[in-house]
Amino acid sequence: MKDHNCALPDALDTVRAIAEGRLTAEAATRVRLERCAEREDEIGAWVHLDAAGALATARALDAGPMRGPLHGVALGVKDIFAVSDLPWRSGSPIWRDRVAGFDAGAVALARQAGAVILGKTETTEFAGYKPSRTRNPVVPGATPGGSSSGSAAAVAAGMVPLALGTQTSGSIIRPAAFCGVVGFKPSFDLIETGGVTVFARSFDTVGVFARSVPDAALGVEALTGLELQPVTPALSTLSLFLSPVWDHATPAMQTAWAAFEDDLARQAPLAGVPFSDALVAAMAEIPDLHARVMAIEASEALSHEMAIAPDLLSQGLRDQILQGAAQTAEMRHADRQRMIDLRGRAMNETRPGDIWLTPATTGVAPAFDSGTGDPIFNRLWSLLGFPCCTVPILRDAAGAPMGVQIVGRQGDDRAVLSVAHWLMERFQPA
Amino acid sequence: MKDHNCALPDALDTVRAIAEGRLTAEAATRVRLERCAEREDEIGAWVHLDAAGALATARALDAGPMRGPLHGVALGVKDIFAVSDLPWRSGSPIWRDRVAGFDAGAVALARQAGAVILGKTETTEFAGYKPSRTRNPVVPGATPGGSSSGSAAAVAAGMVPLALGTQTSGSIIRPAAFCGVVGFKPSFDLIETGGVTVFARSFDTVGVFARSVPDAALGVEALTGLELQPVTPALSTLSLFLSPVWDHATPAMQTAWAAFEDDLARQAPLAGVPFSDALVAAMAEIPDLHARVMAIEASEALSHEMAIAPDLLSQGLRDQILQGAAQTAEMRHADRQRMIDLRGRAMNETRPGDIWLTPATTGVAPAFDSGTGDPIFNRLWSLLGFPCCTVPILRDAAGAPMGVQIVGRQGDDRAVLSVAHWLMERFQPA
């Protein structure tokens, strides 16, 4: 496994160094552009790298006072976010020539906080399942996962310390785990989604990739005005949750997870309250329910593209849209009500501060040609709107990374990040 | 009060007449364009009337088989929705020259269902509180209400039988009530919102204006694939709910409401279960909570506009944005949690099918120069995500319309429409 990143400061270090006059935004930007130059040919993380724009932004920042919490931090932006004057292709040939005339809300907030937008990162087609060209920077021959493929890869390769992504089924947690970085999907709708191409409105959630949990927290703080830096976690609220989809875990994950459980038991008493048997039984239907609602909502969100250029959609996406469009009125109504009911139950039958630890993915990143990997360990939390963070503290025998996923109730974002940070500090593999 | 509409077929009649060969889409469109020509100078409902495009669409429909449930129905689209090749100004000089390069999801679905898009209707600034130029077609000198001012006025004046709008605080129910038409805000997120300018992501809801409840149901059916046509309602689930904001009702509303209560008591036993006292007490905080979350989310959604052209925002909107941006981290977190908790409680402490009848507004449309009216009777349902429909069955002494608002739990859209239709049939004022 490759890791060339030790020498680069993380986002918090960068801001601190600039504030203390030890670094300029321009120098911080140049280091990242050099890393891009070294590794981009091999990885293909970027739809468009805006070196000139980034350097101009950095120089403007250097000429003024500290602008905000991301002052001078190089940022990768998934290509489903609109960024003024940059391409906005959303991973589709339909929008090959589109250039955005405005910033998505989250992008404008990042800019306002002092971020230096390095460019647009590769996404699968409309953030669905058709892979982009991006390669996994740390597992040769493997997929980086999707849909936020370029953002995960760019952070893993040290091209940026922070990148924006989105998750609808498993599009943040899965690529972060496959690339060995921290991925954080906040509570549903915690971050502004205006100006981000929609796939499924009930699930689409903006989140971040970083090399550390405090950096991930910093990114979301800058976009929300919340206080999210990790604090000492209440370990009494932790429980393990293998989830109703545990039988999808690969042998590599099962082995690594068993070792993690043993290690964890030595470090902390797991005194949290598990989900009730009744709730777990109800959750078992979530993967299928999530897939159905996602298909219905995608058929609505992409109705314009389906009308003007069906032949430019991949066969897989077209099938997904047609499957969604074909749902009966009864099924549409019943599925939507079931989703609302399950969200309500998951909040009612748990307590504030409860945290569950569960695998981030079924295993390590599969081969590049196999697709972007299975989101089945992510659909539950995407449907429930629960915040989750993956930390790269598991490895298979060959050293390929896997993630432990920390999940909390809606609104318990800081508790999730606090446990994630605690785990990163204690379980970072050699 | 003026009403020139008796001769025009409603949306359902139009589709039926075309299907039976008694009418062409082109003729149906021409009638509406004539009505626009007669009344637009006085009302100012349209940002852009696309007569040529509408007639071309109508002729194309006439040349083929029945396309879908809105075949040949003239549709007004609020100017915060993107419509291909038409202006997309969102009520702001910042976007004066913007032309949309795509259809919003809801617009593409309407087109797919056979709708004839007549043009873009006036909206307040970004669907907030700064009035558009539109006049109330039925109450001389009065505001049509906002923010979906043009859509409500266009339907009230018979320019279209159906129009799309959105509600964030009271932007569908209020203008519909002030203009004497049916307004339906479905359950939160029931209709696709992609391609619609965002104001506050937790509340923005797409809905419709029509002259009858079955037409409103038809419009939402076409955009969702649900079955929503009114059926015989279960009157045993009805209860009256004056709401914690009843003291904001004007004398005109109080008088009309008292008479309505008496009439209703003679027609139906109100056997529904009222909200519990505890829930009503909790609801009392919703108007302020809704206003705070709306300001915070608007400051995020409009961060790009605030960055590039603050001087082109109205003072009122700028103040709202600054007030949102100034909220502390603690307040942001607490308000968001409170919103989630109240939504959960409102579902948990009520039963499927429960319906509440409550005023649509504080009273009749106020003077044009006074703003767009008070949304206080709408904030509760916008925050809870509950579907609501206003029917124009109340009048003040001078004959100005007011609405009875029918509210149900999330997902009970059809039950709401069924009661609305039942009320329209029994209480239509002379």
Q: What is the pLDDT of residues B114-138, one digit of tens each?
A: 999 999 999 999 999 999 999 999 9
- Structure tokens given for B48: 């852009």
pLDDT of res. B268? 81
Using an 8 Å Cβ cutoff, are A333 and B226 in contact? yes
Interface test with A, best of B192, B348, B350 (most A CBs within 10 A): B192
pLDDT range class, residue B6, cuts 50, 70, 90: low
CB of B337 within 8 Å of any CB in chain A? Answer: yes
Q: Collapse the DSSP code of B49 into the 3-class scheme (helix H, G, I; strand E, B; otherwise coil) and give the result.
A: strand
**Closest C-alpha among A139, A165, A154, A169 to residue A365:** A139
The answer, yes or no, to whether residue B366 has pLDDT greater than 70, is: yes
A80, burial (CB in 10 Å: exposed 0-12, middle 13-18, buried 19+)? buried
The Cα B416–Cα B184 span in angstroms is 9
pLDDT of res. B7? 67
pLDDT below 50 — which residues of chain A?
1-5
**Closest C-alpha among A130, A145, A125 to residue A199:** A125
Using an 8 Å Cβ cutoff, are A382 and A170 in contact? yes
Q: Cβ of B250: how many Cβ atoms within 10 Å?
A: 17
**B169 noted as active-site residue:** no
Does some domain include residue A172? yes
Does some domain include residue A246? no
CB of B325 within 8 Å of any CB in chain A? Answer: yes
Counted across chains A and B, CB pairs separated by less than 8 A come out at 130
pLDDT of res. B1? 43
Q: Collapse the DSSP code of B378 into the 3-class scheme (helix H, G, I; strand E, B; otherwise coil) and give the result.
A: coil
Q: How many domains does chain A have?
A: 1
Domain extent at residue B169: 11-224
What is the CA angle B419-B113-A307, rounded to 5? 140
Give the length of chain B: 430
Does some domain include residue A279? no
CB of B102 within 8 Å of any CB in chain A? Answer: yes
The answer, yes or no, to whether residue B428 has pLDDT greater than 80, is: no
pLDDT of res. B235? 85
Residues of A with Cβ-Cβ distance to B105 under 8 angstroms: 198, 300-304
- Structure tokens given for B53: 């495009």
Using an 8 Å Cβ cutoff, are A112 and A119 in contact? no
Contact B307 A197 (CB under 8 A): no
A254-292 in b/e form (b: 16+ CB < 10 A) is bebbeebeeebeeebebebeebeeeeeebbeebbebbbb
Contact A225 B332 (CB under 8 A): yes
What is the CA angle B123-B157-B214, rounded to 5? 90
The DSSP bridge partners found for residue B185 are: B388
When the pLDDT of each residue in chain B is averaged and rounded to a whole number, the result is 96
Contact A297 B198 (CB under 8 A): no
pLDDT of res. A271? 84
CB of B312 within 8 Å of any CB in chain A? Answer: no
Does some domain include residue A382? no
Does some domain include residue A87? yes
CA torsion, points A249, A250, A254, A256, in degrees to nearest 10?
-120
The Cα B3–Cα B268 span in angstroms is 30
Does some domain include residue A188? yes
CATH number for the domain including B46? 3.90.1300.10
Interface test with A, best of B103, B333, B338, B342 (most A CBs within 10 A): B333
Residue B225: left if φ>0, alpha if ψ -120 to 50, beta else—which one? left
Does some domain include residue A324? no
Contact A304 B107 (CB under 8 A): yes
pLDDT of res. B197? 98
Task: Please give, rounded to a whole number of angstroms, the shortest distance from the CA of A376 to a CA of chain B.
Answer: 25
pLDDT of res. A206? 98
The Cα A271–Cα A234 span in angstroms is 10
Active site residues of A: 78, 147, 171
Residue whose token pair is 């005005």? A225
- Structure tokens given for A13: 């270090």
Question: What ipTM was estimated for this complex?
Answer: 0.96
Residues of A with Cβ-Cβ distance to B103 under 8 angstroms: 303-304, 307
The Cα A313–Cα B147 span in angstroms is 36
Does some domain include residue B25? yes
- Which member of B109, B325, B332 has the closest CB to residue A300? B109
First to last CA, chain B: 12
Interface test with B, best of A333, A347, A414 (most B CBs within 10 A): A333
Using an 8 Å Cβ cutoff, are B18 and B171 in contact? no
Judge if the upstream peptide bond of residue A147 is cis by omega within 30 degrees of 0.
yes
Chain B's closest residue to A411, CA to CA, is: B337
Contact A198 B193 (CB under 8 A): yes
Give me the residues of A, 175-234, that contact B with CB < 8 A: 189-190, 192-195, 197-198, 201-202, 223-227
Residue A389 phi, psi (nearest 5) = -135, 135
pLDDT of res. A2? 44
The Cα A214–Cα A326 span in angstroms is 44
Residues of A with Cβ-Cβ distance to B327 under 8 angstroms: 225
Using an 8 Å Cβ cutoff, are A193 and A165 in contact? no
